[in-house]
Amino acid sequence: MKIVIIGNSVAAINAIEAIREKDKVSEIEVISDESYMAYSHPLLPNLVIGNISRSDKRFYYRSKDFYDKMNVKRVLGKKVVKIFSKNKYIALENNEKIEYDKLLITCGGTPFVPPMKGADLKEGVHTLTNIKAADKLKKDLPNIKKCVVIGGGLIGSKVAEKLAKYGIKVTLVELMKRVLFPVLDDTAADYVHKELKKDKVKLILEDSVVEIRGDKRPTEVVLSSGKTIDTDGVVVAVGVRPNLDFTKDSDIETNRGIVVDDYMQTNINNIYAAGDVAEAYDVIISAKRPVPVLPLAARQGRIAGLNIAESNIKYNGGFPMNSMSIGKVEFISMGIVDSEELEILKIEKDNEYRKFLIDNNRLVGMILVGNVERAGIFNWMIQNKFDVSWIKDTFLNSDFGWKYFDKAFRVLRLNRKIK
């Protein structure tokens, strides 16, 4: 059997490991338009300012000998242009054909650049979702004294913080009323706002960039409010969207992402998808949607790999989850973080913030700022729709732990007798 994987990041690597657990003989071929070993995307802002180098093994997701050990053929620096599912082959940019018996699509997301005049300037306008973009921005740093970062999401906030630490005068423009809008609520985002201000990042909220002005490179940006900001560089970090470039004209079903069933298979037999490109089941909203977070990419990749290797393992669904630090503030959040209808428990004390959102005695979301160490227990409760009616009163205790659980349950759970 020949297994072809499009993409070479978290989902692909976990799929390879899963396939090789079950199947040592099938051919595996990985195709990627990037020419690098799988690397850690969250570290790209660090790479830009020289916090980490390309020779640091921390930057890479697996060791150098991974592909050889797994007996995987790599076709790197080549773009896939089309999938021919009836004849089971894919076409590359250079018209090369690659045949497959089973295909896994893990091509991730592409940065979304909102329509604005001047976004096509040749120099000084950047995104930051891969090594190439990071190298380009890094090379351009000597030309940037002032920078506008568009979008206060996970990448935008992080890159604003890092560029400011590097000594650049940063202005962060965010459309919503707070940074990290779907990840944090007002109270938690305020901690981040304060940290960014400490680093002298200028925050402009509820506004957006409509035009980037300049001849060769940016000289100023114009906001929808009419304000202008002088700048020598722009980083667009509005978000990423599933990369559907080559599935558009195929018979693979797509919505916002590539739609997959509970086994990570698409509507076409023997074609699977996983990671940021996939639209899989979300347990909180009880529907399919793309949730582009690393732990889910890993899990989906693993499940796709196991099923490609003739297992029959179900994906139980996931939900958004993020762990991040900006300046000295660390936070972890999951699921729904803001609501008018849900039961909410929250407490803010001594630079710690805890918030829990509960729907019908099931935990559906939470935020921890500061004291994040027990976050995973809440992750487990959300995933398993655990009945929290008898324990939710203890969630706000900063020493929350297993000691508050019912004894019989705790004894079985801690000794791995209950999943």
Partner 1 sequence: MKIVKINEDNCVYCHLCEVACITEHSKSKDIIKAFKFEEKPIARCTVEFNYPVSFSSMCRHCDDAPCVEACQTGAMHRDERGCVVVDPDKCVGCWMCIMSCPYGIIKRDERREVWGLSTKCDLCPDREIPACVEACPNNALTFEEV
- Residues within the interface to partner 1 (CB under 8 A): 14, 40-43, 51, 57-63, 294-295, 298-299, 302, 321-325, 330, 332, 334, 372-377, 379-380, 399, 401-404, 407, 410-411, 414-416
- Comparing CB distances to partner 1, the nearer of 256 and 411 is 411
> What are 73's strand-pairing partners?
29
Tokens for 323, please give them.
């762990």
Residues in the chain: 419
In the complex, the smallest distance separating the C-beta of residue 330 from partner 1, rounded to whole angstroms, is 7
Closest distance to partner 1 from the beta carbon of 12 (Å) = 13
Please, which residue, 118 or 318, has the CB nearer to partner 1? 318
Q: Closest approach of Cβ 366 to partner 1, in Å? A: 11
* Contacts with 79 (C-beta within 8 Å, 6 or more apart), sequence order: 33, 92, 93
* Helix, strand, or coil (residue 326): strand
Q: Would you say 372 and 330 are in contact if contact means Cβ atoms under 8 Å apart?
A: yes
Task: Pick the closer one to partner 1 by CB: 225 or 412.
Answer: 412
Cβ nearer to partner 1, comparing 76 with 418: 418
Minimum CB separation of residue 21 from partner 1 in Å reads 12
Least spacing, CB of residue 57 vs partner 1, in Å: 6
Crossing angle for the helix pair 186-198 and 154-166, to the nearest 10 degrees? 20
Contact criterion met (CB below 8 Å) for 317 and 283:
yes
The DSSP result for 36-82, as a single string, is: S--B-GGGHHHHHTTSS-TT-GGGBSS-TTHHHHTTEEEEES--EEE
Choice between 90 and 298, CB closer to partner 1: 298
CB 28 within 8 A of CB 127: no
To partner 1, the closest distance from the beta carbon of 110 in angstroms equals: 20
CB 384 → partner 1: shortest distance, Å? 9
Nearer to partner 1, 45 or 257 (CB): 45
In the DSSP assignment, the letter for residue 208 is: -
With CA atoms as reference, report the closest residue to 109 among 237, 271, 248, 278: 278
Question: How many other C-beta atoms are found inside a 10 Å radius of the C-beta of residue 52?
Answer: 16
Residue 124 CA to residue 216 CA, distance in Å, equals 8
CA 409, 410, 411, 414 dihedral sign is positive
The closest of 337, 351, 340, 352 to 184, measured between CA atoms, is 337
CB of 391 to partner 1, least distance (A): 12
- Report the residue number, 34 or 207, with the smaller CB distance to partner 1: 34
Output 127 or 300, the one with its CB closest to partner 1: 300
Residues 6+ apart with CB under 8 A from 361: 387, 388, 389, 392
Q: Indicate the residue among 10 and 271 with the shorter CB distance to partner 1.
A: 10
- Which one, 21 or 99, has the nearer CB to partner 1? 21
Q: What is the Cα–Cα distance from 307 to 175, expressed in whole angstroms?
A: 41
Minimal distance in Å, beta carbon 343 to partner 1?
22
Chain centroid to CA 205: 23
Q: Whole-number minimum distance, CB 354 to partner 1, in Å?
A: 14
Whose Cβ is closer to partner 1: residue 14's or residue 231's?
14
**In angstroms, what is the minimal distance from the CB of 414 to partner 1?**
5
Distances (CA, A) of 110 to 107, 265, 276, 419: 9, 22, 10, 36
